[in-house]
Amino acid sequence: MTSRQRTMQVVSYGICRPQDLFEKLKRDAAKLTAQPNPDDVFNFLITAASLYEWMKKFFKDVPLIDEIAVAVEKRNWESFPQTTTPWLADIACVPNVHLVERHHIINALQICWVTAGASKHFIWNGDVKDVQPEPIVDDWYQYFFSSVEPDLYVDYDDEAYGLSQIRSIILQFYEKLFCLIEKEAGGADAQPDN
């Protein structure tokens, strides 16, 4: 007797596909403000990290997803698919516009992933060094490449990302990724609209 794997599609409370979780992520993102409620921060970051995991499992036969997963897990932006470079249409959201967008996409995904792990296990691992309600400026690099807008800031690998920057990077990335997957499924051109 064979049993079906009990995925979220088989046993569900209403969010059963990555697209459903992306819609939740957008709702969570809309709740974030310059002085965010900790519950809203938690929900956004956990949902973003969960969406990453769902994408790897749901779209396991899509080569692009595997390439993205390998690059994120190795934290190697150079191996991150180059097709993703134009996906950040609004680059005002990145701390340093001189670094390629793929660098910031990996960092934002890692911030979500590391924060989710810390939230689950109570211990910070990885390269998140600090979280502050004001800009983090510990050195000259951060002095020149840190936002000074009111926000919640995360020091990740010596770069200060505001929560609004993380939100913008993550939403733009997933929007284009879903667009590409839908186009590939429909047999259309593989490059999402910019």
pLDDT band of 101, cuts 50, 70, 90: confident
- Answer yes or no: is 62 within a domain: yes
Which of 93, 107, 105, 100 shows the shortest CA–CA distance to 165? 93
Q: Give tens-digit pLDDT for 26-83.
A: 999 999 987 889 899 999 999 999 998 999 888 888 888 888 888 888 887 877 887 8
- Answer yes or no: is 148 within a domain: no
- Answer yes or no: is 176 within a domain: yes
CB atoms within 10 A of CB 117: 16
- Answer yes or no: is 123 within a domain: yes
CA distances from 101 to 4, 14, 90, 158 (A): 40, 33, 10, 17
Q: Give tens-digit pLDDT for 132-183.
A: 777 766 665 565 666 667 778 888 887 888 899 999 999 999 999 998 888 8
- Answer yes or no: is 32 within a domain: yes
- Answer yes or no: is 10 within a domain: no
- Answer yes or no: is 178 within a domain: yes
Task: Identify whether the C-beta of residue 111 lies closer than 8 Å to the C-beta of residue 128.
Answer: yes
Q: Give tens-digit pLDDT for 44-57.
A: 999 999 998 999 88
Task: Identify whether the C-beta of residue 161 lies closer than 8 Å to the C-beta of residue 111.
Answer: yes
Q: State the total domains in the chain.
A: 1
CA 170, CA 105: separation in Å to the nearest integer?
7
- Answer yes or no: is 149 within a domain: no
pTM above 0.85, yes or no: no
Domain span including residue 179: 18-128+164-185
SS3 labels along the chain: CCCCCCCCCCCCCCCCCHHHHHHHHHHHHHCCCCCCCHHHHHHHHHHHHHHHHHHHHHCCCCHHHHHHHHHHHHCCHHHCCHHHHHHCCCHHHCCCCCCCHHHHHHHHHHHHHHHHHHHHHCCCCCCEEEEECCCCCCCHHHHHHCCCCCCCEEEECCEEEEHHHHHHHHHHHHHHHHHHHHHHHCCCCCCCCC
